[in-house]
Structure 1
């Protein structure tokens, strides 16, 4: 049987090795002599704060004894949350995720500890310590997987939002795993969950799922909106404060999502009907500043998208209307700019329109957006996909007009972006466009593309394993 060393023994050995008395070490560590003595003799357990002081006084790295702390004071001991809670926060500060994983594994056999671990996870999430919070949410979710509780659903929602990142394939998997838990959430929380799900499906261009989720969100939001104004109860008004948007936004945003579905499918007439729906906001009863802000946004989006749907359906004469709208629109964000340019490029490539002068107006605005980060699911998921798509459309435009340097520059950006997003379909589209025009590429450009493609291939081989040769 393997003997587990103890922190007490390590400290005792250090005192003998350095020839220090308990009093002298207490002075070094800034600790009371009696506490040090009780720890050395084994008459007293220690807190993580005391452990940190001892570790520092011994000249060891922060957290050096944390594995031993788990062995000595947590595993095979009745869980003491007064000791465990500060230890978990300290592990999170030092990014000692393996230690957190061990603690969770040691105590989560008992469901009594789920509420406390969940509260700690919520606090860590509020502090921005997402990786540490994720381990706790996963631990609570695993322990409560047969409980059908609201807490389990919230854990699954948190796991989903934390896991969503650059990789669209992983995001889609996370969305698929989370979706069955939406109905177990509080009715108000369901609205933000559905909004986030829809945006992940939208970034992956899973249009049938976008429409399905959007319609569910609209129905639920309408029910809550009617309840709010029929009863005007304080409880209802308080619950809606948890939302990240005013309640009416979820109704109108569902219409906007459905419009994007039909636009993507080329049904511009149906897309226009949904666009007119979210442009008509006379039914909204609230008049506060936040409401007015969102009403302004929807009217702004609707005005632009009415023109866009006409443009993409082949009504080329509205292009000038769109450009004038862009030039005069107030409060245009960088996200708006990338979508505006993308719409123009799709129309230009589809109907062979010369838009070179229009492109120049956008160049200065397109540099910084790709480097921005955001916790908002739309900005985090949908906008990067639009950026990569825009790069592809620009490359298509320039290459077909024999502006090869510009074309290959945008194509490389799009290829790298789609690789980062792990969007295999559109990465292959980029490869096809490169191969079609490769004879027009400079030697160094061709080398850059081929080196990148080989690097992607090698990474896939490492990730998925090699294939045995036959014959």
Structure 2
């Protein structure tokens, strides 16, 4: 039978090579000599903190023994969570996903480890070790795929959030795969999940889907707000939402108005905007509530200007410009809609573009709700650059293509085929229409 070299065999070889006794090496490592002696005799399993000290004392890479350690704690001795948990966390910090997968695969044969592994995944997710967390979520989810449990739904939610990136096709796949699990989440997590799905489908221009999600978000948030007996974040089971529940109601109404705007029904959008500007029904009267209500007042006022502008009411243009000029986070959105309106109604907005030229490069802005959603901002920027290219080309100003081409480059990076194709077509047709030589 082939002898498998153990970690203690390598330690013994090191001691022999350096002419060290157990007691001397124990002092170097900072481990009790009796403990080291029992480990070397195979009478005691090696704890994670001891492994770290021994590896460091031997001058080896921190994860040098990790492959052997997996075998020793999973095969050679009965696995104990006291040793497994710190090892999983350490593997995540060193990106040893192979070791994590080996342990998880073995542990999931015993369903008692499922909740423990899920808790580790949650801890890793919060710490930003996303690859390790995703690996555990995937395995825990697979073990519970027939249980239809809340834990399974939460695994899928985390995987959905981690899957979102710059590729619209991958984002669509992630959203579709996750959508069926939303109803399995607890009520407060459902609110955040619906909001994230709405953001994703907004970036994909699937406005009917966004409308459906907004309606469901409004229904669920309204119901939860009626049922809450304590604070506006906490449900009966003690879980806490990222934002007060009334904020989700306001946001759902904002989404509904935005869908109408994107679909070109600006008059209907104007009728809905006052709904989320009216906060008289909100019970809370603390500093957070006042800040949230004030933010929706700003957004509502800006969106009234915006929809009137998109409806062709040029008389509000100067007033709109002055309104957003002192609100930095609103300027880029306003410029995008102003250029779009200029193309639609053949307006000259050169002076406005010159005034706000510093705000044209792509950037993210923050509000009281955090940084702007990256997916939506990326999409808005590609759309803006397409409109700006059409605006310049319709005026035969071909020397302004630096900004518009940055938009095309970003579209290629995001694989946003719709914007790339539309941008290309608008350029070709504008050149044909503006250059008489093409007509001869």
Q: TM-score, normalised by structure 1?
A: 0.84
CA distance in 2, matches of 1:369, 1:12: 58
Change in Cα spacing, 1:370 to 1:232, as seen in structure 2 (3 Å) is: closer
2:193 pairs with 1:176: no
The aligned residue for residue 314 of structure 2 is 316
Residue deviations 1:161-207 (CA, integer Å, cap 9, x gap): 22222222212211111111111111222111111111111111111
Residue deviations 1:355-394 (CA, integer Å, cap 9, x gap): 111112322234472599x996852221222122222222
The aligned residue for residue 88 of structure 2 is 88
2:14 pairs with 1:21: no
2:375 pairs with 1:394: no
Change in Cα spacing, 1:51 to 1:278, as seen in structure 2 (3 Å) is: same
Residues 420-459 of structure 1 aligned to structure 2 (within 5 Å) = 420-432=413-425
Kindly state the Cα deviation for residue 218 of structure 1 after the two structures are TM-superposed.
0.4
Q: 1:416 aligns with which of 409, 412, 415?
A: 409
The aligned residue for residue 216 of structure 2 is 216
Contact 1:347 1:353 in 2 (8 A): yes
Contact 2:8 2:39 in 1 (8 A): yes
Residues 293-312 of structure 1 aligned to structure 2 (within 5 Å) = 293-312=291-310
The aligned residue for residue 462 of structure 1 is none
The aligned residue for residue 249 of structure 1 is 247
Q: 2:378 aligns with which of 380, 384, 387?
A: 384
Contact 1:196 1:377 in 2 (8 A): no
CA distance in 2, matches of 1:139, 1:279: 45
CA distance in 1, matches of 2:268, 2:238: 31
Contact 1:411 1:434 in 2 (8 A): no
Give the 3-state SS of the residue equivalent to 1:5 in structure 2: coil
Residue deviations 1:30-83 (CA, integer Å, cap 9, x gap): 222222222222222111221111212222111111111112212475431111
Contact 2:124 2:132 in 1 (8 A): yes
The aligned residue for residue 227 of structure 1 is 227
Structure 1: segments with no counterpart, 5+ residues: 440-471
Residue deviations 1:124-163 (CA, integer Å, cap 9, x gap): 2222222222222222111111111111111111111222
Give the 3-state SS of the residue equivalent to 1:218 in structure 2: helix
Kindly state the Cα deviation for residue 219 of structure 1 after the two structures are TM-superposed.
0.7
Kindly state the Cα deviation for residue 107 of structure 1 after the two structures are TM-superposed.
0.9
Give the 3-state SS of the residue equivalent to 2:264 in structure 1: coil
Contact 2:232 2:245 in 1 (8 A): no
CA distance in 2, matches of 1:309, 1:387: 19
Contact 2:389 2:427 in 1 (8 A): no
Q: 1:352 aligns with which of 330, 337, 346?
A: 346
Residue deviations 1:296-334 (CA, integer Å, cap 9, x gap): 111111111112112112222221221122135xxx343
Contact 1:388 1:418 in 2 (8 A): yes
Structure 2: segments with no counterpart, 5+ residues: 433-440
Give the 3-state SS of the residue equivalent to 1:369 in structure 2: coil
2:47 pairs with 1:54: no
The aligned residue for residue 8 of structure 1 is 8
Residues 196-215 of structure 1 aligned to structure 2 (within 5 Å) = 196-215=196-215
Contact 1:92 1:132 in 2 (8 A): yes
The aligned residue for residue 459 of structure 1 is none
CA distance in 1, matches of 2:60, 2:431: 58
The range that moved more, 344-353 or 121-130, is 121-130
Residues 257-268 of structure 1 aligned to structure 2 (within 5 Å) = 257-268=255-266
Contact 1:217 1:250 in 2 (8 A): yes
CA distance in 1, matches of 2:33, 2:238: 55
The aligned residue for residue 463 of structure 1 is none
CA distance in 2, matches of 1:4, 1:197: 51
CA distance in 1, matches of 2:233, 2:392: 58
Q: 2:400 aligns with which of 400, 406, 410?
A: 406
2:68 pairs with 1:68: yes
Residue deviations 1:212-251 (CA, integer Å, cap 9, x gap): 11101101111112223xx569996666871122211211
CA distance in 1, matches of 2:424, 2:177: 31
Contact 1:111 1:144 in 2 (8 A): no
CA distance in 2, matches of 1:14, 1:219: 67
Contact 2:150 2:186 in 1 (8 A): yes
2:97 pairs with 1:103: no
Residue deviations 1:391-444 (CA, integer Å, cap 9, x gap): 22222222332332322x1222112222332322223334445666899xxxxx
Give the aligned CA root-mean-square deviation in angstroms: 2.7
CA distance in 2, matches of 1:376, 1:104: 35
